[in-house]
Amino acid sequence: MTQWSILDTWIVIVGSLCAAACALPGTLLVLRKMSMMGDAISHTVLAGLAIAFLVTHRRDPATMFVGAVVIGLVTALLIQLVGSLGRTEIGASMGIVFTSLFAMGLVLMRQAIDHVEIDPDCVLYGAIEASYFDQITWMGMNLPRAAIINGGAGIFNLLLIVVLYKEFKVSAFDPALSTTLGINANVMHYLLMTMTAVTTVAAFETVGSILVIAMLIVPPATAYLLTDRLSFMMCWSVLLAILAAIFGHVSAVTVPTWFGFGGTSTAGMMAFCAGLIFVAVWLLAPRHGVLSKVFHRCILQLRIVREDVLGLLYRLEELPPSHELSTTPALLQGILGVGPVLSTLAVSSLARRGYIEHRSGQLHLTNQGRRAGRHLIRSHRLWESFLQKHLHLASDHVHEPAEQLEHITDAAMQNQLAERTNQPQTDPHGKKIP
């Protein structure tokens, strides 16, 4: 690995500030299902810079900044306008407005480029690697300009969201109610667009206009999988964004060297890491993650098979003693119609908990197991009685639904069922209800 220097530290700091600043408005964009609005606005920044220069013939940063932010807002306005003219849905409207403005930006840039020092490469990919060398003095310290700009955008966003937290929340969740409460949803929409424009303009020098969208959307979309509260979602977004920035730069300088290449684009790696983090969370998130869903489904399936084994053993015990009792695990598996893995797991976990025991190759219920089996069979037969009495199902149609309902019936529900069916002694098939 190459030597870590002050340069790298500042790249990580600038990247983190930029990512964190993007994550805040990004959360609201994702929740309002307007993710691509950030993309649209970031693409029109170019036009804003060119127009600002052509109009004012000045190229100081403040003029450029204001010009870009204004064009960002104009983009948002035009998108709403084109969308409201009818026959154009909002996605198409975005496509129309931002591509036109982006193309116009490119053409104007060409016109203006002889006069302005705008590097197209830097516009598209950012220049985070060079940010350390562009320093300005602020409060007696020499700081990279990018750190101050992105930090400023982050503080601007943070202040707005802290002060107007409930207004942003209600206008994103229920714009109609929000407006009737006197919190005009349109005003809040354009405030969010202002935030997005400011952040995008600040960020685009750092990560480039293409990668801004990744920083705006991916960390919030990841956070959405991790929590059910808006405030936590915002905190997670910022945290994940910073993580993506750190890992992004570290892997940009290390990973390519493993393959004998030099370092690669940090901005690109930041976006890529954000994507990797999303995939990891998508797989591993405790509640909304794919693996946790699969895991919970397996646990549920195992519980059902366990109960079925107890029920089956109980039914076999009910048979007159003259029957040849054969309760080998293999036989159980055949009757229950489940795979060998599941049945082996079920039998071994029942044995471990003392519900069943192995005696000379056969399975037998313990007293504890018998109680559990009786409970299940009682639920099953009560349900059959109930379905026949109250839903008028034929007696040969009650087994299947009862087979499912028996697994979600507790003692209280059992008592209610017994009451509603007048405490029957036998089920519709004439079997005794234990």
Q: How far is the CB of 174 from other proteins (least distance, A)?
A: 5
Near other proteins in 28-47, by CB under 8 A:
31, 33
**CB of 293: closest distance to other proteins in angstroms?**
15
Among 5, 180, 257, 344, which residue interacts with other proteins (rule: CB under 8 A)?
A: 180
Among 172, 192, 332, 346, which residue sits at the site for other proteins (rule: CB under 8 A)? 172
Who contacts 109 (Cβ-Cβ below 8 Å, separation ≥6)? 46, 49, 50, 118, 120
Pick out residues in 74-93 that bind other proteins (CB under 8 A): 86
d(C-alpha 38, C-alpha 43), whole Å: 9
Q: Which of 143, 148, 230, 336 binds other proteins (CB under 8 A)?
A: 230
Of the two residues 167 and 307, which places its CB atom closer to other proteins in the complex?
Answer: 167
The sign one gets for the Cα dihedral 46, 219, 206, 190 is: positive
Beta partners for residue 359, in sequence order: 362
> In DSSP terms, which residues pair with 138 in a beta bridge?
141
Question: Any contact of residue 229 with other proteins (CB under 8 A)?
Answer: yes
Q: What is the DSSP string of 89-114?
A: -HHHHHHHHHHHHHHHHHHHHHHHTT
Q: Nearest approach, Cβ of 158 to other proteins (angstroms)?
A: 15
End-to-end CA distance of the chain: 72
- Choose among 370, 398, 404: nearest CA to 300: 404
In terms of CB distance, is 176 or 330 closer to other proteins?
Answer: 176
Is residue 426 a contact residue for other proteins (CB under 8 A)?
no
Q: Is 227 in the site for other proteins (CB under 8 A)?
A: yes
String of DSSP letters for 131-142: GGGSEEEETTEE
Stretch that binds other proteins, among 122-130, 230-238, 309-317, 355-363 (CB under 8 A): 230-238
Residue with tokens 């979309």: 221
Query: What is the enclosing helix (H) or strand (E) of 265?
Result: none
176 binds other proteins (CB under 8 A): yes
Sole window of 71-79, 177-185, 315-323, 371-379 interacting with other proteins (rule: CB under 8 A): 177-185
Cα distances from 114 to residues 53, 55, 68, 110, 118, in angstroms, run: 12, 16, 19, 8, 9
Q: Does 170 bind other proteins (CB under 8 A)?
A: yes
- Applying CB under 8 A, among 159, 181, 280, 411 the residue interacting with other proteins is 181
Interface residues toward other proteins, by CB under 8 A: 31, 33, 86, 163-167, 169-170, 172-174, 176-183, 224, 227-230, 232-233
